[in-house]
Chains A and B, each alone.
Chain A
Amino acid sequence: KAGVTQTPRYLIKTRGQQVTLSCSPISGHRSVSWYQQTPGQGLQFLFEYFSETQRNKGNFPGRFSGRQFSNSRSEMNVSTLELGDSALYLCASSLGDNGNTIYFGEGSWLTVV
């Protein structure tokens, strides 16, 4: 069974630009969550989508948004990029019930210059 797939793996953007990251969950998983990892900050929860609806949201500004498609694939978008947005963005999928284990992709490394 294929794991969680994230694209692109690495990208460099300029301040003020916007970026879209893509995530394909494990087959059969209906929940997709997004996390941001920066040095010393651990994994910060961005949002979770379940059946095309945002089910939970972390404490990030509105520049960070996401969506989920009918096939459970998800995208997240960051607009008006800032230098501090440079981070590893991780997508994770699960069956979607409380207590389910979430499984991570390898992440997308975003550098904002």
Chain B
Amino acid sequence: DQQVKQNSPSLSVQEGRISILNCDYTNSMFDYFLWYKKYPAEGPTFLISISSIKDKNEDGRFTVFLNKSAKHLSLHIVPSQPGDSAVYFCAASGDKLIFGTGTRLQVFP
């Protein structure tokens, strides 16, 4: 039972354009959501988070949007850069942190 889903295993975006990564969840009790970025052979690195009392959180080029009624969150990266190429995991927190399966983002010149 996958409570957190990232339905797009991969995404390819041109440098300078917007990258939009999506995540859906099923448990309405989740109250805190996070995005992590992972390079090969490294542990995931925390990127940005959002509490369920908000619908948007912005940090530089990264913005996370939360739509609680749709149980959907998204990560926007603007403008995308080649160094953003990595696997992105969304995670939802209740009594423990549940991760999605990840989306591999490739930013090409």
Q: Give the interface of A toward B (CB within 8 A).
A: 4, 6, 33, 35, 40-45, 48, 56, 58, 90, 92, 98-99, 101-107, 109
| Interface positions of B (Cβ within 8 A of A) | 6, 31-32, 34, 36, 41-46, 49, 51, 89, 91, 93, 95-102
Bound form: Cα–Cα A56–B97 in Å: 10
Complex interface: chain B residues within 8 A of A43 (CB):
44, 89, 91, 99, 102
Q: What separation, in Å, do the CA atoms of A89 and B31 have in the docked complex?
A: 26
Give the residues in chain A near B97, CB-CB below 8 Å. 33, 45, 102
- B100-A99 in contact (CB<8A): no
Are B93 and A105 in contact, CB atoms less than 8 angstroms apart?
A: no
Q: Is the CB of B45 within 8 A of A104?
A: yes
Please name 16 further chain A to chain B contacts, defined as beta carbons within 8 Å, in addition to the given A45-B99, A107-B43, sorted by A numbering. A4-B43, A33-B96, A35-B99, A40-B101, A41-B101, A44-B99, A45-B96, A58-B96, A90-B43, A92-B43, A99-B31, A101-B46, A104-B36, A104-B43, A104-B45, A106-B41
Give the distance in Å from the alpha carbon of A110 to the alpha carbon of B98 in the complex: 22
Is B101's CB under 8 angstroms from A99's CB? no
B residues near A90, Cβ cutoff 8 Å:
43-44
Assembled-state Cα–Cα distance A99/B101 (Å): 21
Top 7 nearest A-B pairs by Cβ distance? A104-B43, A42-B101, A43-B99, A56-B96, A106-B43, A99-B32, A104-B44
Cα–Cα, bound, A110→B46 (Å): 23
Residues of B within 8 A of A104 (CB): 36, 43-45
**Residues in chain A near residue B32, CB distance under 8 A:** 98-99
15 contacts across the A-B interface (CB closer than 8 A)? A4-B43, A6-B43, A42-B6, A43-B44, A43-B91, A45-B96, A45-B99, A58-B96, A90-B44, A98-B32, A99-B31, A99-B93, A106-B41, A107-B42, A109-B41
